[in-house]
Amino acid sequence: MTDTLPPQVASPAAGETAGSPKKLARSLGVVGGTLLTLSCVTPASSLFVIVPDLFADLGTFTLMAILIGTVICIAVAFCYSELGTLVPSAGGEYAMVGTLAGKFTGWLVFIQSLIVVMIVPSIIAMGTAEYLEPIIHLDPEWAGAAVMLAATVAGLLDLRANAWITGVFLVLEVIACAVVAFLGFGHSERGVSSMLHGTVANAAGGTSGVGFAAILTAMGTALFVTQGFSTAIYLSEELENPRKNVARTVLWTLGLSAAIIIVPVTAITMGAPDLSALTEGNISQLVIGWSNSGVGTFISLCIALAIINAGIVMVIQNSRVLFASGRDKAWPEPVNKAFGTLNRFSAPWISTLAVGIPGAVLCFVPQSTLINITGVAVAALYLLVAVGALFSRRGHHKDAPAWRQPLWPALPVLVIVTLAYTLVKLDTTALWWTLGITAAASLYWALYLRPRPESRWVITLPEDERV
């Protein structure tokens, strides 16, 4: 592609104004990066907020869907790890793909990632009210909006302090997941073989079979369950030695999050007293049935903290995408300057507000709609990243120092084929919404960005990470 260029370097140069965006500070190691990224996956929130939707649709096939989604995510994680070490930018996916596969492809990736980063925190935040119910009754939309605003305030603070705060919250949610797994296995009602045959309770009080086609239809949600591992690359400009630590952070996060989610899902499937209880997916009620209301309350509070934790981390990481888009001149100049402005804690404060405040507003949109649109955007995003991985070993990138994925190019091709097929099986309304947003963004590209190749959408890398 003619617009595929070596990355430019984000350092002061002739022609730059005094208001140009500053560099982010490298202050995170693998442990801190993994804590932040794992908190963004927020395994407990995925288990308690997202997985119940899978139980409702798939019943005993829920684990199968998550396992298939995890296998796909492993191949995707290899692509992220290689591209993230080649192009360690806070822009994440769009910087990687735009540098390797062309600016327009990078722009399409940016739009999909923007859909995800704007919607996902709201989806998670709306689950807060349900798990605070043992203490106080709250409206889900208003509770979610309050969580988003609180997370926005926290996102304006020092990154290292947030890493340790979220680490403490993460310990609590892992404990909650472990308790659920222990209780579920201790009250097993069915064997592992039941998860090889899809069965779900129906409205008539009986049971219905679930076929493999249903798994494909729910694959967008299944991919969403462990989606947050990819956000490690948004921290690549703040990771020490990103050429090594980006890949380590991505792979450690995926492995840990998959284990924390898969084990309790197995236990819940085996331990639910009947298919109706499993299909209902009320994990707090299952815990109370296996133990007592005190344990149920403890688990619910741990999950509420996990959701707040996830909101903080998502706002922190997602604001880095807008920060990078401003630095890379994606918008009119006043917007670029605003998104690149850092506060005294070296946090991009306007970008943080631009993620958190709309996120609070989105809490008043039906959660199912947001989940379906996000599922489509995640699948499209992963597909485009795999496309970018096909360009990772040509030109001056061929011999660049980077982590290299095994079985290249077979794995990226497999991801592309699998996700292309998956996309056509997802919710039609969500597909049209995502397509409409993408079409509008493409028009913006054609009319504003493409005619200004020297001054707009100039993808950069930090000066200390030039290839």
DSSP secondary structure, 188-228, as one string: --S-GGGGGSEEEE-TTSSEEEE-HHHHHHTHHHHHHHTGG
Tokens of 305: 């903290």
Q: Which residues of the chain are under the pLDDT cut of 50? A: 1-21, 464-467
CB atoms within 10 A of CB 464: 13
What is the per-residue pLDDT for 166? 67
What is the per-residue pLDDT for 179? 92
What is the per-residue pLDDT for 461? 66
Tokens of 455: 């001054």
The secondary element (H helix, E strand) that includes residue 460 is strand 460-462
Q: Which residues lie closer than 8 Å to 71 by C-beta, 6 or more apart?
A: none
Identify the DSSP state of 239.
Answer: B
Contact 106, 95 (CB under 8 A): yes
Cα–Cα–Cα angle for 330, 234, 154, rounded to 5 degrees: 100
What is the per-residue pLDDT for 65? 92
Contact 167, 309 (CB under 8 A): no
pLDDT digits over 399-411, tens only? 777 788 888 999 9
What is the per-residue pLDDT for 270? 94
What is the per-residue pLDDT for 376? 92
d(CA 299, CA 180): 8
* φ and ψ at residue 209, rounded to 5 degrees: -80, 150
* φ and ψ at residue 9, rounded to 5 degrees: -100, 130
The single residue listed with the structure tokens 């050429």 is: 243
295 class by beta-carbon count within 10 Å (0-12 exposed, 13-18 middle, 19+ buried):
middle
Q: Which residues lie closer than 8 Å to 132 by C-beta, 6 or more apart?
A: 138, 143, 300, 301, 304
Say which amino acid occupies 295.
V
The domains of the chain, with CATH numbers, are 26-445 (1.20.1740.10)
The residues pairing with 201 across neighbouring beta strands, listed in sequence order, are: 207
